[in-house]
Amino acid sequence: MATIFSRIIAGEIPGRFLWSDEACVAFLTIEPLAPGHTLVVPRREVDHWIDLDRDLNGHLFDVARLIGDAIRYAFSPNRVGLMVQGFEVPHAHLHVWPANSPADFDLAAAERSPDPDALDSAGEQLRSALHDLGYGEFVPENMDRP
């Protein structure tokens, strides 16, 4: 059975996409720790990040760094958080988000019902930042499709 992330990538479930390449996508989470909280997800379903092959693992972390650059550019946080934990969805993924203190790393504090317009706005800010930083070739033409 396909994971929810595979279903988002396939377009069966809506997503707000920021990045798309042959190996992975990045889209906003629907339960953000802060505006711009993004998930970097391989297209191929791999349950645990340590089971990713080296090339894909390296690529995901490279994309997470580029998303982090865009987050820093768009939101000017003190830090950009990066987390790999994988308990909520059995499909490897990296969380990348604006962080201003260690308290910003608590997933229990995620916003459970964010305003869709606020998610759209954060997504457009990051898409614009990715273009400004020179990564536009990987930004999907429409935010709702990878």
Q: Vertex 13, ends 22 and 11: CA angle to 5°? A: 40
Task: Pull the structure tokens for residue 68.
Answer: 């982090």
Strand ranges inside the chain, DSSP E: 17-20, 24-28, 38-42, 79-83, 94-99
Residue among 37, 93, 95, 131 flagged as catalytic: 93
DSSP 63-96: HHHHHHHHHHHHH--SEEEEE---SSSSS--EEE
Q: Does 93 qualify as catalytic in the annotation?
A: yes
* Residues annotated as catalytic (active site), given as ranges: 93
